[in-house]
Homo-oligomer: A and B are copies of this chain.
Amino acid sequence: MSARAAIVVTGTEVLGGRVSDRNGPWLAERLRELGVDLAHVTIVGDRPADMLAALRWCASLEVSLIVTSGGLGPTADDLTATVVGGFCGRAMVLDVALEERIAAILAASRARWAHLSDEAIREANRKQAVVPAGATILEPVGTAPGLVVPPADGSEGPTVVVLPGPPRELQPLWEQATRTAAFGRAVHDATVYEQRTLRLFGLPESEIATTLREAQRAGVELEQIEVTTCVRSGELEVVTRYEPHSAAVAAALEAVIRERHADVIYSDDGTRVDEQVASLLVQQGLTVAVAESCTGGLVLGKLTDRPGASAFVRGGIVAYSDAVKEQLVGVAPKLIEEHGAVSEAVAVALADGARERIGADVGIGVTGVAGPDGGTPDKPVGLVWIALSGPGGRRLVRRTDQRGTRADVRERTVVVTLHLLRRLLLGAADTPAE
C-alpha cells in the first residue's frame, strides 16, 4: 500500500458556501509533491458529530494521514482539537508552556485591540492551549498552534495533522508538520509519482478526447497512467501522472498530442500564461500600458498580480465611459459615433492611445459588452474586441464572443488578452512592423 491521505476542511461558513476554501487545493498540491495519494477532500460544518463522522470515514478508507484545517480559533464553535483528540483516543490536557507562548504573542499585538481587556483576550485564547496528550505541537504563526496527533499507543489508525484555517497560518504550520517524526512515520510508504502538464489554448475538450482515443488506438497504453483534462476560460490543461516505470507511456501520449496540436500548446513546463508574458516583457525590455473598458481594470489587475510587475507595467486607463475614452485615451469622438464604443476601430484606438499617452512599448485596448444588459442584435452580450499595438506599428486585433455570466465574460476576456499579448511578444502580428 502506498501512502494515502484525506483532507477534512471544517467550518460552517465554508460548508455553507459563504467562504470559498483555499486550503484544500493548496494542501492537495503539497501532498502530490510528497508522493502521497489524496483520496478526497471533505468539507464539514462546525458540528462535532459531523467532524467525527468524517474522520471515521477517512479511517475506514485506510488512509494513513488526515489533514484538517480550521476550527482552532478562540470562539466556541472552534472544536477541532477536541474532536481529533477523541478520535485518536487521547485525553485533552492544558499545555501551560504553550499558554504562556500564546499570551506572549497576543501581548506583542496588544496595541491593535486596545479596547479589549487583557482578561477577555486571555480567556478567549486559553482554549487554544488545550491539546491532545502526546501530540506534537506546531508553533503558532497567528495565535493558533497546529498539532500532529498520532493514534493512541498500541492502536492502528491514521495520524492527524491539525492546522488553523487562515492560509497564512496554515501554510507555515504545514511545513513544520512535515518535518515531525510522527508525520514521517505516517507517510513512509509514499510512492514518488511523476507529473507532466501540457497547457493548450483555444482547443475544445471534445477534440482532446478524440486525441486520447487515437493515442489508445495507436497502441499507447493509457491504462498505465492517470490522465486528466480540464478546460477553463479557453485554456485546456492535460495532466499526466505516473509511476516512474510508466514514463515511456506518458512520453508516447505527449508525442501524439504534440503531433496533433503543436500550434496551440503554450506551456509544457508548468508555467502559466501570465508568468510567460511577464518573462517575455522583461527579457525583451518592453513596457506595457492598457486602456480597457468592459474588463474595468481586471486586465491591469492581472498584469500587476505578480511581484516585480512594476518592471514592465507602466499603468493604464479604465475607460468605462465614452468621455474617458475620448479625453484620457484620445479616441476620436467620430470613431465612437461611426462604429460604436464596442468596435474594432475603437479597440485599436484604445490600444494606440494607451501606448502613446502612457508612453509604453505595447498598448492594449479592450472594449466589449460584459452584460447582462447592454447587448443588441448586432453587438450581443459577450462580444469583445481586443487590440494590441506594438513597436513600429505592429498590431494584433481579435474579436471574441464569450458566453456565460458577466463574471465569465470579464474573466475570459482577461485570459484571451494575455494569450494575444504572448503571441505578439513571440512575433505574431496582423500588421507587421513598418
Contacts and interface: CB of A to CB of B under 8 A. Distances in A.
Interface of A: 11-13, 15-22, 24-29, 32, 38-46, 50, 53-54, 57, 61, 73-77, 112-113, 115-116, 120-121, 123-125, 168, 204-210, 212-213, 222, 226-230, 232, 237, 239, 290, 295-301, 303-305, 307-310, 313-321, 323-324, 327-328, 357-359, 371-374, 403-408
A229 B305 CA distance: 30
Nearest to A197: B18
18 contacts: A11-B230, A12-B228, A16-B28, A16-B239, A17-B25, A17-B29, A18-B237, A20-B20, A20-B21, A20-B25, A38-B45, A113-B206, A120-B207, A123-B210, A124-B209, A300-B318, A316-B317, A328-B328
A27 B372 CA distance: 22
B230 A18 contact: yes
Contacts of A29: 16-17
Contact of A206 (B116, B300, B304): B116
A39 B42 CA distance: 10
A205 B17 contact: no
Nearest to A292: B297
B19 A232 contact: yes
Nearest to A227: B77
B43 A40 contact: yes
A40 B54 contact: yes
A346 to B, nearest CB: 14
Contacts of A207: 113, 115-116, 120
A10 to B, nearest CB: 10
Nearest to A117: B210
Given A53-B61, A113-B204, A371-B307, A320 B313 contact: yes
Contact of A209 (B76, B209, B301): B76
A121 B210 CA distance: 8
A18 B235 CA distance: 12
A206 B321 contact: no
A16 B38 contact: yes
A41 B38 contact: no
A237 B276 CA distance: 39
Contacts of A124: 206, 209-210
Contacts of A374: 310
A359 B323 contact: yes
Contacts of A222: 76
A324 B318 contact: no
Contact of A39 (B50, B309, B319, B327): B50
A373 B206 contact: no
A24 to B, nearest CB: 7
A269 B267 CA distance: 46
Nearest to A73: B205
Nearest to A403: B168
A63 to B, nearest CB: 11
Contact of A407 (B18, B25, B305): B305
